[in-house]
Chains A and B, each alone.
Chain A
Amino acid sequence: AQSVTQLGSHVSVSEGALVLLRCNYSSSVPPYLFWYVQYPNQGLQLLLKYTSAATLVKGINGFEAEFKKSETSFHLTKPSAHMSDAAEYFCAVSEANQGGKLIFGQGTELSVKP
């Protein structure tokens, strides 16, 4: 069965510092992987997705993630945090034979200090 683990329910960084949000997955077949962002009292917005093309995926707002099959990881990074990046981030996985259903991690809340 698929599962997603996000390490750290809360991450705090200073403005301008590197953002690193960790995600590990388990899947019996090559997965599709996603990062979504959720701002307070809003729905989820897609940041980026991996669908078996390039292993380094670039998304919106300067975020990127690298698919590492050997480590079963899909960590999200951004070189320089901005105050507007403060939000909750969700990693999710789906499999080709699962009808597009997403399995979500528990989420990581990112705080950005001035």
Chain B
Amino acid sequence: NAGVTQTPKFRILKIGQSMTLQCTQDMNHNYMYWYRQDPGMGLKLIYYSVGAGITDKGEVPNGYNVSRSTTEDFPLRLELAAPSQTSVYFCASSYVQDTIYFGEGSWLTVV
């Protein structure tokens, strides 16, 4: 049972570089999410999607972009990386109001 799969697990970026965090789920969930986790801050929603072709901003969208071309995939793009984007990123998915399932996280450091 793969569930929600994120890649890469770890990445170091230089300031100003760009990268894409990949996320795929095999549960046929219509809803997908990207959260970031910072120490002592809980998780903050970056972007979410209610289905293929539909995305919307969460609490902290600045500096990020997403796309949802298929039900399975929901990549998160960081443009012009900044030190403030050093964080742990979690992709997640769910049916509408049901349990949200999380990936194992991607640790990103911007130096």
CB < 8 Å: which of B40, B45, B96, B103 contacts A102? B45
Which of A14-22, A71-79, A93-101 sits within the interface? A93-101
Residues of A within 8 A of B43 (CB): 44, 90, 102, 104
Query: Most chain-A Cβ atoms within 10 A of its Cβ — which of B41, B42, B45?
Result: B42
Q: Are B97 and A96 in contact, with the CB atoms below 8 A?
A: yes
A90-B42, A99-B48, A100-B94 are contacts. A43–B103 as well, Cβ < 8 Å?
Answer: yes
Interface string of A1-45 (1 = CB under 8 A from B): 000100001000000000000000000000010101000011111
Q: Are A105 and B42 in contact, with the CB atoms below 8 A?
A: yes
Interface assignment of B19: CB less than 8 Å from any CB of chain A: no
Interface assignment of A46: CB less than 8 Å from any CB of chain B: yes
Query: In whole angstroms, what is the CA distance A90 to B94 when docked?
Result: 18
Q: Are B31 and A99 in contact, with the CB atoms below 8 A?
A: yes
Q: Are B105 and A46 in contact, with the CB atoms below 8 A?
A: no
Residues of A within 8 A of B99 (CB): 34, 46, 49
CB < 8 Å: which of B31, B45, B102 contacts A44? B102
Q: Are B42 and A101 in contact, with the CB atoms below 8 A?
A: no
Query: In whole angstroms, what is the CA distance A53 to B96 when docked?
Result: 18
User: How near does chain A come to B7, taking the closest CB pair, in angstroms?
Assistant: 14
Interface assignment of B104: CB less than 8 Å from any CB of chain A: yes
* Sample (23) of A-B pairs whose CB atoms are under 8 Å apart: A34-B99, A34-B100, A42-B104, A42-B105, A43-B102, A43-B103, A43-B104, A44-B102, A46-B100, A49-B99, A51-B97, A90-B43, A96-B97, A99-B31, A99-B96, A100-B96, A102-B33, A102-B45, A104-B35, A104-B43, A104-B44, A106-B42, A107-B40
Chain A residues packing against B (C-beta within 8 Å): 4, 9, 32, 34, 36, 41-46, 49, 51, 90, 94, 96, 99-107
**Apart from A46-B100, A100-B100, what 20 extra A-B contacts exist at CB < 8 Å?**
A4-B42, A9-B40, A32-B97, A34-B99, A34-B100, A41-B105, A43-B103, A51-B97, A90-B42, A99-B31, A99-B50, A100-B97, A101-B33, A101-B45, A102-B43, A102-B45, A102-B100, A104-B35, A104-B43, A106-B40
